[in-house]
Structure 1
Amino acid sequence: MRHIFLFLIHLFFLVTLQAQSDTNNLAIGQWRTHLPLRTGRFVTQSSEKVYYAAEQSILVINKTDFELEEISRVDGLSNTQAKLLAYVPGSKTLMVVYENSVIDLVPEEGPIFTLNQITNFSNFVGDKIVHGISVEDAENVFVCGNYGLSRLNLNKREFSFSTFTGLDVFGAVVFNGFIYAATEGGIYRIALTDPNPQNFSNWNFLGPESGFPNSYESKAIAIFNNQLYFDVNRSLYRMDTASPELVYTRAGFSIQYLSAEGKNLLVGYRCQSNCDRGALVAFAANGQRQEASNLCMGIPNYAVEDQNGRIWMGDEWMEFRVLNSLQDANCTNYVFNSPFSDKVWEMAVRDQELWLASGGVNRTFSYLNRSDGFASYIDGQWKVFTRFNSPYLQGEKANDNSDDLTDVMTIALHPSNKKVYIGSFYEGLIEIDGEKFQLFNEKNSTLNNAIGDIARTRISGLAFDEEENLWVANHLAANPISVLTKAGEWKSFKPSCGVTSLHQLTIDQNGYKWFCSSSNAAGLIVFDSGKLDDNTDDKCRVFTTANSELQTNQVNCVNADLDGDVWVGTGEGVVIFECGSNAFDENCRGTRRVVEIINGLGAYLLETEFITTIAVDGANRKWVGTRNGVFVLSPSGRDQLAHFTTRNSPLLNNAILDIVINPKTGEAYIGTESGIIVLQSDAIEGGRVHNAEIKVYPNPVRPDYDGPIAIRGLARDAAVKITDVAGNLVYETRALGGQAIWDGRDYKGRRVQSGIYLVFSSSNPREAGFGKPSTATGKIVVLHRE
C-alpha cells in the first residue's frame, strides 16, 4: 500500500516537482488550468504591468513587451470569478475582490493573503456585495459595498473601521481633510480626525445647504487635478472648496466609473436605453473634453490610462480592449489562447489532443440554448468552434439560427484515424475529417427527430466499440439507438425494453452498450445488438430501484473499467455491475460497495454524494466527480486514496461536471462549473507485457532533486524491485498501470546514497493471460553532493 501513501503525498500536499516526461510538461502532483481569456472585465495597473480580471483568473500584461502571465487558483488565489482589482503602488500589492466578496492580497513578493471579514459581517443580513475599491494612500484602501464602507490597512491586513450605512456605497476618497462617500442616497462626508467613523450618524449629508440637491444618487467619485469630481444623478460635477459645479451631462447615459490615473480624467458611461454600447469621455486638466472612439466601447466596467497615454478598458464584451491614444480611431482587440468560456459538459482525449463540448442540458433535459460550441487543444493551441465563427454550426438554414447546432454535449474520437464526432442536443451529429465537416441528421442517416419535438435531432451520447463502430444515443427518438459502422453505413434500433430517453453510454468488454436514462422511471439500460444485420437477436434490459441495487432512478453517468465492470453514478452514490456476460440475467442486480468510514463502522460507497462523472485511470483507479469535489478510489472502490476540494487543492470548483484521463500521460482533466483544471497523476496505461525499453525520469537523479522517480513502459500492475549493484533489495512496489513510482528512498524511508541502482520488473500473471510473465530491466543513476 505504500504507493497509496506516495499518491497522497504527491497530490494532496501539491509538491512542486521538477521531473518531467518526454510527452508532458507537468510533473507528478502538479496542476495546470485551461481557463478562458476572452474577456477582461476589470482592469488596474502598476507602473510596469496591466492586470485584467478575466472570467476565472487574472491576466497580467507587461506594458513593454506584452509578455503574458496568468494567475489562478494554481498560483494561490483563493477563489475564481474576480470582480474588482486595485493595484496599490505603495504596498506593491494587487488587491482582488471576488463575486462572493472574499478579498485576496497578492504582493509582488511573498504569499497571497486572504480576507474573509466582509463575508462574515454579522451586522449586515444577506449577501455582501462589494461595489468598488478606492486607494487612499500607500497602505490604506476603501472598500465600498451594499453594507456600507470599510477602510482596509494592507500592511496590517486588517480593517481599521467599517461603517454600516444602510445605503449602498459605490466609492470613497479623502479630500481636503474629509472622507467623502458616494452612495445611493447622495454624498456623505466625515472629518479624517473624527475618532468614530464607524458610527454613520457622525457622517454629514451634503444637501441643499452645500449646494447639492435635496435628494440624489451618486455612483462615482474621484480626485483629479486637485479637485473633487463626482456623479450627481448621472451628471458629472466638480468642486474644490466652493459649491459643486456642473461639468457635463450626457443624455441617455449613466456614469459607470471615474478613473484619474493618467493625464486625463476618464469618465465611463453606460447606456440607459435604446443603444447598444457605452461611451468614454476624457477631461484634460485644462478642462478640454474629448470623446474616445466608440469602436472600443461595449459594456464598460472600468478603464485606466497608462504613462504612455494608452487606455486599457475593462468591459463585459468579448476581447481585451486597448486604445493606443485618445486620438486613435481604431480599437486594438486581443483574444488570447484559451477556451471560449468556462463552460464544460464533456471532454475526450486522444494521444495529445483534448476535445471539449461546452453545451449541455438542464436537470430536466431541456435546452440551455448554449452557443459556446466545442473546442480542441492540440500542440498547446486552443481552436474554438461556435456558430459565430464556424458555418458548420449554423445548420442548414444559412440566414436563420433556428437550426444552429447549439447545446453541444458529447464528443467521440475515432480510435484509429483522426475523425472527430460532435453531438448537438439541438440539431444532429457533425463528423470532422481534417478540414472536412459533415452534418448527419434525419435526412441522411438513421438518426430520428425527438418525439414531441419533431424539429430537433437530439444527440446525447457517443461511444466507439472494438470494431470501430460509432454508437449514438439519440434522445427521445422513435429508434433511440443508432450505429455508424466502420464501413460508413447507418443502422438504428428500437430496443424491446421501450426506453427512448437515453443519454451517456459506455461499452463493456462483452460489447454490451450501457446507457443512462433521463426518465425517472428507467434508470439504467443495457443493450446487446447481437449481429448488426440480424434484428431478431437484440436484447435489452432496464435496471431500476425495483430490480437492482440502484437506490434511485436518477442515473447520471456510467463507465466500464479495465476489468469490464460497469460503474454507475447516481444521485445517491455508486453502484457497480460486475456481471460480465450475465448482465441480462435477473440475478445481475449490481452491488453497493461497503466501505469502512470510522471505527470499523461501514457505509455504502459515497452513498451521500451526488455522482456526476466517473473516470478510470491506467491503474484502474476510479476518479469520481461529485458536487463535493473529486474522490479518487482504489480499483475495487474499497479504499479512498484522495478527496480533492477547493479547501485542500487548487480545484476551481467543487461542482464537477466531467473528468477524463489521458491514458498515455496520466493527465487528469477535471471539468468544473468554473472551468478546466489538470492534475498530473502517477498512473498511465500499461499493456499485457513490458515495452521493449523502459524509461526512467529523471535519470540521472541530480543532487538538488528530491521528488518522485517515474519508471515507465511497464506491463500493467507489474511487480517492480530496485536493488543496488550488489543485489541488495532497496525498494519494491507495484506499477500503477504502466508506471511505477520510486521516491529515491529505501524500505526504511532513508534517502539512498549516490550510485547505480537496478530495476527489475515482472508482469502481473493475471494480466499476462496464458503467456508467461514478461520481464524488464533498467538502470537509475543517483547523484548526491559529497
Structure 2
Amino acid sequence: MLKQILTFFISFITISGFSQDYSTLWEQHFSYYEIKDVDQGDNKIFAASENAIFTYDLLTAEIDNITTVNGLSGDNITTIHYSDVYDILLIGYENGLIEAVFNDKSVLSVVDILEKETLSPDVKKINHFNEYEGLVYISTDYGISVYDLERLEFGDTYFMGNGGSQIIVNQTTIFDGNIYAACSSGNAIKKANLTNPNLVDYLQWQTISVGNFITIQSVNDKLYTVRLNRVAYEMIDDALIQLNTYADLPLDTKVVDEYLIITSRYDVFIYDSDYNLLLNITTNDEYDTLFSSATLVNNNIYIGTSSFGVLKTTFENPTEFDVIRPEGPLNNNAFRIQAGNGDLWVTFGDYTLSYNPAPVRRYGISHLVDDSWRNIPFDSLLGARNLNYIAINPFNTDQVFISSYQDGILEINNGEVSTLLDNTNSGLESLVVPNNPNAYSIRQSGSVFDRSGVMWTMTSRVDRPLKSFNPSSGQWQSFSFEEIIPDGLNDEAGFSDVVVDGNGTKWTGGFFNGLIGFNENGNLIRQVDGLENNMPSEIVRALAIDSRNQLWIGTFKGLRVLYNTSGFFEDPDPSVSEIVILEDGIPQELLSNQFISDIKVDGSDNKWVGTLTSGVFYFSPDGQETIYHFTKDNSPLPSNTINDISIDDKDGRVYIATEKGMVSFLSGGSKPEDELKNAFVYPNPVRPEHDLLGYNDLNNITKGVKIKGLTENVNVKITDIEGNLVAEAQSNVNQRSSNYNFAIDGGTGVWNGKNLANNVVATGVYLIMISDLDSFETKVLKLLIVR
C-alpha cells in the first residue's frame, strides 16, 4: 500500500524531479576509500563516500554503487539515512540538496532547501536525518525542516533561535513525546512537544542547559547527549548527569536496535541502553586510518574510515577487520590521466596554477587494467612526490614513465615500480639556487613519446629544460632555451604539455613565455606570447596536434590554433588564430576568455576541450560545430572543473578527470588501422532483440551496426545480396555529427540500418564492401539482419 501511495504522489511533484540515468554511455570511476557516513537496512549496508554511494548486500556479499551515472548530483555528501518503512535512501549534501534513491536506483532530487533564496548558502548544510512516524526531521545549519516521506513533500521549518533566528542544529531525537535538538552557537539543547501544532513559533521551544551540543539520541527509556567539550551526559527530567569524557570529539552517534554507537576518530564505542560499554574498537598498525561513522547488524560492526572504505569486524574478534569497498582509484581528485590499449593510469600529485609544488603531495598511483583497479601506495614509489604527467612507451606499453614535480621521473615496468630517475642516474637536473647549495628539486612536468620511441620531457627552473631519453639505448640529451629564457630559474615558472608534431618540432607552453616551439634539427627555437601574435594570454595550459598537423592551444583566456606549424620558424610574423563561429547569425569567438585546462584529439580529428569552470566541449575537426557540451547539469560530470582528458583509441572511450571524481564516455570513435585485414562488423547477426536499427542519432554508439578496424581513408558501400546499393559512407565526409544514416568516425563506421530511402532495411544478408582510397586495399564483410 505504501508503494502505491508513493507512486501516486510522485506524479504530482513539481519542485523536485527525477534525475536521468546515464548508464548506457557513461561509466563511473569514483574513489570509495574515504567514507563520510554509513547506515543499514533492507539487509544492506549503505556507505557514502565524498559524492557517491555504495551498497553491500549482507546476504550475497555483492557490492553495488550509486553515482552520478545513476543520477546523483556529484556534490559533497554530509549524511545518509535509510528508511525501512518506505524503502528509500536519503542523501544529504553540504549545499542543502537532498536526494531520495529508490530501490530501482532512480533518484529524486529535492531542491527546496538548495534553491531557497531566503537562506544563505552557508547555512544549508544537511547535518542529520531523523525519521519518526513517516516524517523526517532534517537537522541543518539554519534549524529543522520537516519532510513527509509518504507524500514526498516538505512541511514546516523551525527557526528556534532568539527572536526566531537561525541556529545550527546538529542532530535531533524523539523522546517521551518530545523532540530534542542538539545545537551549536551556544544554543545548547532545544526541546518541544511534538503534539504542539505551532512549533514554527520559536517561543514554543525550551532551552536546556548551556553551551554547544553535537549529538543527542534516545535508547529505549534513556536519553543521551554529548557536548562539544567531549563530555557525555544522560538526561533525566531534563537534567544533565555526567557519564564520561572522551579522549576525542565524537563525530557520529547512532542507535541501532537497543545499542548506542558513538564514533570518534580513533574509536568506536558500543553501549547498551544503560550506557554500559560492550565494545571498544580501535585502529591498529595494519589499518592505520581514521573512523567517521559506524553501524551494526547482528554481530557485525561496519565502520566508515578515511582511507580503507568500510571495515567490518565482530564482537568476538574486534581487532580483526575485513575491507569492504568497490574497486576504484585512490582519490577522486585525479590530476593527470593517460589511457591506451584498454588501460588507464592516474596520478594525484600536483602543483598550483603557478607551478608551485608546495605543499608536496605524497599520493600513490592508480592503474585500471582489464576493468580492475590496481592501486600502488605511496610507500612503494621510491619517495617520488607530486606525480603528474604519464608517458607510455609506444613500443613497450608495459613501460611507463611518470613525472614528479619534485623528484624526477618514476619508471614502472610490468606494473611494478623499478627506478626513480634523478640527477644521480639520468640526464635530469635539479634547480640551482644561488647561496643555497642544499636546494634540491627536479621539477618534471609534460612528457611524451615521439614516433621513434624517444621520450621528450620538460624540466622547470633550469637553463636546459627540454630533455630527451631513449629507453632502448639509455641515452639522454638536454636542450637549452636560453635564447628566449635567459634565466631558467626565474624567467619561467613551469611548463605544461609537450607535444611533437609531424615535422618533429616539440611544442610546449609556459607560464610567462606563451607558446614555445623547438626543433633540434638546426637548433631552432621560437615563442609566441603577446597580443601582437593574437595570443590572449601568455599562460599556456594545454596543447594538442591534430591529423592535419595543426596545433591547438589552450590558454588562461581562450583557445587558439596555429595552422602553419611547418613554416613556423621561417614565418617573419607568426601568429595564432581564434576560431570564429556564428551564434544566431552573429560572429563569436569560440571559448572566448575560457580557462582551457586540456585538449585532446580523437581518431576522427574531433576535439575534446576541458575548461576550468564550464565542463567539457566536444567539437568537430574545425571547431565550427559543437557536438556535445557536457556539464555537471546535463551529464554525470561531478564537477565543471576539468583537470585532464584522455582517450583510449582502442574503443573511443573518453576519460574525464574532474576535481571531484572521474567518469568516462563511450564516444565510439577509434583510431584508424594501418590495414583492413582485421576489419569486422558487429553485432552479427543483428537480431530483433538487439533493437539497434532505425535510430537517427549515431553519436549514441550503443545503437546501430558497427564496422571496426577501418583505415584512415576509406569508402564503404553496403548492398543487399543482389547488389543493390543500400548505404554508402566515406572517411572525412560522412561524419556522425552530421546526421547521416551511415557515418565513419576514425576507424569505426556506424550504420543505423536505414537505406537510401530512409527506411529500415528488411531481413536478409547484406554485403559490406570496404575500399582503402590510398592503398586500394579492399575487404568484403557479410552481415545478417533478422527483423
Query: TM-score, normalising length from structure 2?
Result: 0.87
The CA deviation string for residues 393-441 of structure 1, in whole angstroms up to 9 with x for no partner, is 32xxxxxxxxxx2111111110111211111000111222334612221
Counterpart in the other structure of 1:742: 751
**Equivalent position of 1:146 in the other structure:** 141
Picking from 761, 767, 772, the partner of 1:758 is: 767
Cα distance between partner residues in 2 of 1:580 and 1:46:
62
Q: Which amino acid aligns with 1:96?
A: I
Unaligned runs of 5+ in 2: 1-18, 161-165, 693-702, 735-743
Q: Deviations over 1:589-643 (max 9, x none)?
A: 3443443332221112211321110111110111111121111111111211111
Match of 1:288 among 276, 282, 286: 276
- The residue type paired with residue 202 of structure 2 is F
Matching residue's letter, 1:109: D
Match of 2:410 among 418, 427, 430: 430
> Is 1:677 aligned with 2:679?
no
Match of 2:382 in 1: 393
Once the two structures are TM-superposed, the CA of residue 229 in structure 1 deviates from its matched residue by 2.3
**1:726 and 1:738 mapped to 2: Cα distance?**
27
2:97 is equivalent to residue 96 of structure 1: no
Pick one of 485, 489, 497 that aligns with 2:483: 497
Partner of 1:74: 69
Once the two structures are TM-superposed, the CA of residue 205 in structure 1 deviates from its matched residue by 1.8
In the alignment, residue 779 of structure 2 is paired with which amino acid?
Answer: A
Distance 1:350 1:84, change over 3 A: same
Q: Distance in 1 between matches of 2:578 and 2:765?
A: 44
Quote how far apart the aligned CAs of 1:108 are: 0.8
1:630 and 1:259 map into 2 onto residues whose CA distance is 41
> What does residue 714 of structure 2 align with?
718
CA gap of 1:331–1:544, structure 2 versus 1, over 3 A, is: same
Give, in angstroms, the shift of residue 131 of structure 1: 5.0
Tell whether 2:467 aligns with 1:482: yes
The aligned residue for residue 225 of structure 1 is: 220
SS across alignment from 2:256: coil
Residue 497 of structure 1 deviates from its aligned partner by 2.8
Structure-1 separation of matches of 2:147 and 2:119: 18
Q: CA deviation at 1:149?
A: 0.6
Tell me which residue corresponds to 1:8. Answer: none
Distance 1:332 1:466 in 2: 47
Letter in 2 for 1:779: K
Residues 349-397 of structure 1 deviation map (CA, whole Å, 9 limit, x = unaligned) = 2312211221121011101411123222112222223433x0x432xxx
Looking at structure 2, the residues matched to 538 and 159 of structure 1 have their Cα atoms a distance apart, in angstroms, of 70
Offset, 1:668 = 0.6
Aligned with 2:267 (options 239, 257, 279): 279
Farther-moved stretch of structure 1 (122-131 vs 611-620)? 122-131
The CA deviation at 1:548 is 1.9
1:463 aligns with 2:448: yes
Give yes or no for contact 1:295–1:331 (8 Å, CA) kept in 2.
no
The amino acid that maps onto 2:705 is I
Counterpart code for 1:181: A
Give secondary structure in 2 for the equivalent of 1:91.
Answer: coil
The 1:119/1:14 distance shift into structure 2, 3 A limit, reads closer
Aligned 8 A contact 1:386 1:393 in 2: no
The match for 2:180 is 180
Mean alpha-carbon deviation: is it higher for 124-133 or for 164-173? 124-133
User: Aligned to 2:427, which of 425, 446, 453?
Assistant: 446
How far, CA to CA, are the matches of 2:216 and 2:290 in structure 1?
20
Q: 1:316, 1:14 → 2: CA distance?
A: 29
User: How has the CA–CA distance of structure 1 residues 393 and 547 changed in structure 2, closer, same or farther, with 3 Å as cutoff?
Assistant: farther
Distance 1:495 1:103, change over 3 A: same
The correspondence for 1:204, drawn from 203, 206, 222, is 206
Distance in 2 separating the partners of 1:86 and 1:523: 51
Matched residues, percent identical?
Answer: 26
- The residue correspondences of 1:124-135 to structure 2 (distance < 5 A) are 124-135=119-130
2:117 corresponds to which letter in structure 1?
A: S
The counterpart of 1:383, out of the listed 369, 374, 383, is: 374
| More divergent stretch after superposition (248-257 vs 466-475) | 248-257
Query: How many angstroms apart in 1 are the aligned matches of 2:646 and 2:289?
Result: 37
Offset of residue 176 of structure 1 = 2.3
Alpha-carbon offset, residue 234 of structure 1: 3.5
Question: Could you tell me which residue of structure 2 aligns to residue 267 of structure 1?
Answer: 262
* Change over 3 Å in CA distance of 1:611–1:357 after alignment to 2: same
Which residue in the other structure is 1:776 paired with?
779
Work out whether 1:506 is the aligned partner of 2:499.
yes
Q: How far has the Cα of 1:476 moved from its partner? A: 1.3
1:542 and 2:537 matched: no
Question: What is the CA RMSD across the aligned residues, in angstroms?
Answer: 2.4
1:640 matched to 2:626? The reply is yes
Contact 1:89 1:138 in 2 (8 A): no
User: How far has the Cα of 1:109 moved from its partner?
Assistant: 3.2
Is the 8 Å Cα contact of residues 602 and 670 (structure 2) preserved in structure 1?
A: yes
Residues 481 and 569 of structure 1: CA distance in aligned 2, closer, same or farther (over 3 Å):
same
Residue pair 2:365, 2:378 contacting (<8 A) in 1 also: no
State the Cα distance separating 1:13 from its structure 2 match.
Answer: 9.3
The alpha-carbon distance between structure 1 residues 598 and 546, as it changes in their structure 2 partners (threshold 3 A), is closer
1:432 counterpart letter in structure 2: I
> In the aligned structure 2, how far is the partner of 1:357 from the partner of 1:121?
39
1:292–1:327 CA contact under 8 A, matched in 2: no
Q: Is the 8 A contact 2:128 2:140 kept in 1?
A: no
Cα 1:702/1:544, change in 2 over 3 Å? same
* Structure 1 residue matching 2:78: 3-state secondary structure: strand
Could you say if the C-alpha distance between residues 330 and 13 of structure 1 is closer, same or farther in structure 2, counting changes exceeding 3 Å?
closer
Q: Is the contact between residue 358 and residue 408 of structure 1 (CA under 8 Å) also seen in structure 2?
A: yes
Change (3 A) 1:31 1:204: same
Amino acid in structure 2 at the alignment position of 1:280:
V
| Local SS of the residue matching 2:566 | helix
Q: 2:234 aligns with which of 228, 234, 238?
A: 238
User: Is residue 235–residue 255 contact of structure 1 (8 Å, CA) maintained in 2?
Assistant: no
One-letter amino acid of the counterpart of residue 296, structure 2: E
Question: Quick one: distance in 1 between partners of 2:234 and 2:302?
Answer: 24
- The residue aligned with 1:168 is 168
> Are 1:563 and 2:548 matched, yes or no?
yes
Q: What is the CA deviation profile of residues 93-113 of structure 1, one whole-angstrom value per residue up to 9, with x for unaligned ones? A: 001112222111001136210
Give 1:209's aligned residue: none
Q: Deviations over 1:237-259 (max 9, x none)?
A: 3346x343526212544333321
Give aligned pairs, total. 718
Change (3 A) 1:590 1:702: farther
Taking the aligned partners of 2:261 and 2:132, their CA distance within structure 1 comes to 21
Is this contact kept in 1: 2:220–2:258, CA < 8 A?
A: no
Q: Which moved more, 1:131-140 or 1:420-429?
A: 131-140
Distance 1:156 1:585, change over 3 A: farther
| CA separation of 1:508 and 1:327: change in aligned 2, threshold 3 A | closer
Residue 14 to residue 507, structure 1, CA distance change in 2 (3 Å): farther
